Structure 1
Amino acid sequence: LRGAAAFGQGEGQVWAQEIQCRGNESQIDFCPTAPSQNQSCSHGNHVGLVCYDSEDVRLVDGGRPCAGRVEILLLGQWGTVCMRNWDMTDAGVVCRQLGCGDAVEALGDAHFGRGTGPIWMDEVSCRGLESTLKECGHRGWGKPHPHCHHGWDAGVICSGNVRLVRGAKRCSGRVEMHNGSSWGTVCDADFDQRDAEVVCRQLSCGPPAELREAAAFGQGEGQVWAQGIQCRGNESRIDFCPTAPSQNQSCSHGNHVGLVCSDIEDVRLVDGGRPCAGRVEVFHQGQWGTVCVYRLDMTDAGVVCRQLGCGDAVKVPGRAHFGEGSGPIWMFAVSCRGSESTLKECESRGGLSNPHHACHHSWDAGVICSGNVRLVGGAKQCSGRVEIQHGSSWGTVCDADFDQRDAEVVCRQLSCGPPAELWGAAAFGQGEGQVWAQEIQCRGNESQIDFCPTAPSQNQSCSHGNDVGLVCSDSEDVRLVDGGRSCAGRVEVFHQGLWGTVCMRNWDKTDAGVVCRQLGCADAVGAPGFDGRRSGFIWMDDVSCRGSESRLEECRHGGWGGSNCPNGMDAGVICS
């Protein structure tokens, strides 16, 4: 449904009756009517409509009209399209034929489930100028390659009348809407969380992760949308949302709204307590499954974080750190180059079509991403200069605009425990780029910094010499207890929501050194056994660190919770 004369203004009278169809009538003149309550309605408010027009092509099982498995009607029977050579040009023809905007993604491997009946088209080759899919070149009607089967059915995700432009991935960017003849932008003051939920849903991009203001993804062209969007949040498409004339008539291209969706269609992070941390799960062949942690490193984690719009990789926790998943283990021995835009583009042993079965869910991989905040220049990953991402670039924060409550949120977002110390005056070195022009006003209980209110900074003269720094306690996964000071004591590890100890069997100064560096406690002086009172689990045994690890969890050990270590053999550390 399109309002505001999207298809041009008509002539003659505006219908004076409100149409009140139930939806099951065969003709509009069978619908009840009542006098319209909108007597001032003018030709500028003419309604427009796009019908599905499914006579010879349709999208099925995508949850909305503009996404799904591609099906063709031929000889009175619906059939599918084989994914061989299927690309964005072909997908674009389908989207335009259905009045569904631009192609967002061309999918294969029966992403929307397996169809039935004939495979009508294979080796589709569109030039991009065709008005219907049937005009495109292909192998021949009903003559697919012998290897084609319904597990290779092609699918499409179209933008509909909304799209995200200039983002690092398909599910982030400047919000643009189509008015029937051209694309326009949306004022940031006219767009809120409920509107974002609908746009992300319409684009099959999962729930919204972040709203960005002030043309964070660059300034667009064309008109700024003159209507305020008033979604309830449960609509399947943005054009089903009510609108009202915008109260921000002076809104300019510098106020274009941007949006980052979580993009959970093929990868997600689960059970981490926030969108940018958790167990890695991949969607393939209509089913969610996990990734084996074997050989997974920070390069691989970085691809996941970037795909989700979650900033940089902070760490790769140990096996099943966020609990065991269920279903298939889709990827084993992942090896990313680091330039991939999605995890599925990375190599893995056996590939997605032949997942490895030697791995089990106690080895499920997890990832912690920075989100839109990071700590830079510190001795460990939970300390450093505070930097916040704005669009595609990072900027610093003025020390006068950042307080203890803001620090609590940053440390929580980075899974670094509570804040330990705030440092001003560029204690971790001066950053580059802009100094954040907003004062952050967190209440302290937010899970992410972008959920905190902001206000224009009162410190416009703030320079990089005033960049704020932060040290978090990093108590999320290791601590030293009962040693009389913060850098000595029995080693305890946090895993699956519980603190436990480390058995001192094979424990040495190399292992202790990793703990000391992780805690920002300099070098290891000793690695004694610790005969203190202990309760709870023995999480680690037979620890064997190389010495280059940044965290104890990265060291080889005998498996989580599998120790028969007796009392009195807890590992301890004395750091310098």
Structure 2
Amino acid sequence: MELESETANMVCQELNCGRLKRLDSARARVESAPNWLDHVKCRKHDSNLLKCPSSPWGQNNCDSRSDEVVHITCTGHTEARLVNGSDSCSGRVELQYLREWGTVCAVGWDMRAADVLCAQLDCGSAVAVVEVDWFGEGSGHIWADVFDCQGNETHLSRCGISSWSRAACSHKHDAGVICNGSSVAFHEGRVRLSGGSKCQGEVEIYFRQDWRRVLLDSWSLSEASVLCRQLGCGSVLNCRSSPSTTEHKHMCVTGFSCSGSEAHLGNCSSGQPVNCSSGEQLYITCSGKQHNTYK
């Protein structure tokens, strides 16, 4: 029979083998196999093979011609997990192909695929796709499949899949994901002002599971305005450098880029960890009052 791709996809899903990877004609027919279904045409909303329209059970006109037989290759991805994070909703992405676990490359992984993975793991939606410096390098296989998800699928096996050269990736590019069901997502991006008052002091940002100072050359009044707003401290009055009164830390943060209108630093472009270049600390003074406009 002629098998359409949607029907072949359903066969792969029924076998817990992911989605269709390749559909072609078989070279030889398995003569001992009985013919139960013919003219099967699955639709996207069908939940299983028996829900798909077909000829009556056991009625078919199959013969031994080669074009009556098809050969299906499924992607084989059956399970997924996030490892080496603080909980099951954050970590390095690992997929199981049949019985073997492997990592995926950050180059072929995006927020839509991360959203689907988080939903699949009952972890809500994705907060961030991160690189290897978050959750470390994996070992073993690196799956070269690129998941073409829309973001509303319930399982990665329902996303389209394409492949690209494995030579383009190594474990130094293993992808990681943080879902909003993780404690990491709750704490990430918090800010505090120390050595002064609630609305005045040295800036520290909770970044990649630790409190870090901010490099002065990566900070402007726009970022300071967002920080004061995030703290509920009104507008920024002053932004200057000051000798640090806190313990010097090995890592700082740089790279935040805000327009000034954001409600939270997490809405600005992401920062990056860097070595602290000096003991100078960013010191901010906010107005101390949150002005709200009511219409």
> Fold-level match, TM-score > 0.5?
yes
Relative distance call for 1:252 and 1:207 in structure 2 (3 A) is same
Q: Cα deviation per residue 1:271-322 (whole Å; 9 max; x = unaligned)?
A: xxxxxxxxxxxxxxxxxxxxxxxxxxxxxxxxxxx847322xxxxxxxxxxx
Quick check: 1:452 aligned with 2:268?
yes
C-alpha separation between the residues in 2 aligned to 1:424 and 1:254?
Answer: 36
Alignment partner for residue 257 of structure 2, among 431, 441, 461? Answer: 441
Please say if residues 251 and 276 of structure 2, whose CA atoms lie closer than 8 Å, have aligned partners that are also in contact: no
Alpha-carbon distance, 1:253 to partner: 2.3
Q: Secondary structure at the match of 1:435?
A: strand
Max Rg structure: 1
Task: Select which of 121, 132, 150 maps to 1:232.
Answer: 150
Unaligned 5+ runs, structure 1 = 32-42, 51-159, 264-305, 312-370, 478-493, 499-576
Aligned to 1:25: 53
State, as a whole percentage, how many aligned pairs show the same letter.
28
1:421 aligns with 2:238: yes
Q: CA deviation at 1:237?
A: 0.8
Q: Is the 8 A contact 1:431 1:467 kept in 2?
A: no
SS at match of 2:83: strand
Structure 2 Cα separation of the partners of residues 248 and 425 of structure 1: 49
Instruction: Please report how far the alpha carbon of residue 388 of structure 1 lies from its aligned counterpart in structure 2 after TM superposition.
Output: 3.7
Provide the rounded CA distance (Å) in 2 between the counterparts of 1:417 and 1:250.
48
Relative to the length of structure 2, the TM-score reads: 0.67
Whether the 8 Å CA contact 2:192–2:205 is kept in 1: the answer is: no
Q: Distance in 1 between matches of 2:232 and 2:109?
A: 30
Q: 1:238 to 1:463 in 2, by over 3 A?
A: same
In the alignment, is residue 207 of structure 1 matched against residue 125 of structure 2? yes
- The question of whether the paired residues in 2 share the 8 Å contact of 1:3 and 1:47 is answered with yes
**Given the superposition, is the C-alpha separation of residues 14 and 227 from structure 1 closer, same or farther in structure 2, using an over 3 Å criterion?**
farther
Matched, 1:220 2:138: yes
Which residue number corresponds to residue 169 of structure 1?
A: 87
Structure-2 change in CA distance of 1:382 and 1:182 (3 Å): farther
- Residues 202 and 447 of structure 1, relative CA distance in 2, 3 Å threshold: farther
Aligned length: 249
Residue pairs, 1:41-440, within 5 angstroms: 46-47=73-74, 161-246=79-164, 249-263=167-181, 307=183, 309-311=185-187, 371-427=188-244, 429=246, 431-436=248-253, 438-440=254-256
Cα deviations by residue, 1:445-495 (Å, 9 ceiling, x for unpaired): 3343334335879xx785142443333334238xxxxxxxxxxxxxxxx8x
Question: SS in structure 2 opposite 1:379?
Answer: strand
Matched to 2:174, the amino acid is H
Q: 1:385 to 1:230 in 2, by over 3 A?
A: farther
Decide whether aligned partners of structure 1 residues 473 and 46 sit closer, same or farther in structure 2, where only a CA change above 3 A counts: farther
- TM-score by length of structure 1 reads 0.37
CA distance in 1, matches of 2:104, 2:262: 27
> 2:113 & 2:140 partners in 1: Cα distance?
21
Cα distance in 2 for residues equivalent to 1:455 and 1:192: 18
- Structure with the larger RCO, 1 or 2 (CA within 8 Å, 6+ apart): 2
The question of whether the paired residues in 2 share the 8 Å contact of 1:164 and 1:173 is answered with yes
**Counterpart secondary structure, 2:113:** helix
Listed as ranges, the matches of 1:463-542 within 5 Å are 463-476=277-290
Unaligned runs of 5+ in 2: 1-12, 30-39, 47-51, 61-70
Q: Deviations over 1:521-559 (max 9, x none)?
A: xxxxxxxxxxxxxxxxxxxxxxxxxxxxxxxxxxxxxxx
Let me know the Cα RMSD of the aligned residues: 4.0
Matches of 1:20 and 1:463 in 2, distance apart?
Answer: 64
Which has more helix, going by share of residues?
2
AA in 1 matched with 2:289: S
